[in-house]
Amino acid sequence: MEATRCFLAVRISTDVRRRAEKLIKKLSAAEADVKWVESENLHITTNFLGDVTSQDVVDISRKTIEVAAEHATFDLEMIGTGAFPDVDSPRTLWVGAKSGAEQLISLQEDLTEKLAAIGFPPDSRKKYHPHLTLGRLKRFSHKIDQLKALLVENAELPMGECHVKEVCIFASKLDRTGPKYTLIGRGPLG
């Protein structure tokens, strides 16, 4: 049985996507060695599931639909730049979530609990931090200081709102040009 890499995510609005594209262009001026996320791949991950079988996808879909129906739709405000593990040692560059983040965290926690019950244990190494990944640093160079300065400069930059109305299940396939995401299921919020 062939396995498929999967994750759960919420989509971003067209407005947030456009602003993220502009921000990526602005941050890339630092010329740091970053692998930027392609515009069509921008999303907010709730749960990474790894390799799953076709039967797993059916079970994941059922649980996603069940959990999503228990949560009301909500607006999620995106604001400011940051980095994991932090701005002084940036590895993953992101835009954060502000108002509405509590609802997304609650949704993610419920998904995590239900998915654990069917064999997908949570990543206990880190607490969920809602964010929109913009890029990942490939290696440090002298250009990193310029990038850090731009992250600090844009730490409070308004990025727009997303109306969260569903949880999407995506399959991820890597090829030479990068990851390709395919929507394979969804759970509408109640």
| Helices (H) then strands (E): counts for the chain | 4, 9
* pLDDT of amino acid 182: 96
Q: In whole angstroms, what is the distance from residue 38 CA to residue 59 CA?
A: 30
* pLDDT of amino acid 139: 80
Residues of the chain with pLDDT under 50: none
Q: Among candidates 18, 17, 16, 39, which has minimal Cα distance to 160? A: 16
Query: Where in the sequence is the domain holding 114, given as residue range(s)?
Result: 4-188
* pLDDT of amino acid 143: 78
Tokens of 82: 């940051």
* pLDDT of amino acid 3: 82
* pLDDT of amino acid 1: 54
Q: What is the pTM of this model?
A: 0.93
* pLDDT of amino acid 123: 75
> 10 Å Cβ neighbour count for 131?
20
Backbone dihedral region for residue 11 (phi beyond 0: left; psi -120 to 50: alpha; all else: beta)? beta
CATH for 10: 3.90.1140.10
Amino acid at 172: S
In SS3 terms, 53-118 reads as: CHHHHHHHHHHHHHHHHCCCCEEEEEEEEEEEEECCEEEEEEEEECCCHHHHHHHHHHHHHHHHCC
* pLDDT of amino acid 43: 97
* pLDDT of amino acid 26: 96
Structural domain total, the chain: 1
Q: In whole angstroms, what is the distance from residue 92 CA to residue 62 CA?
A: 31
- Point out the residues that are catalytic: 43, 131
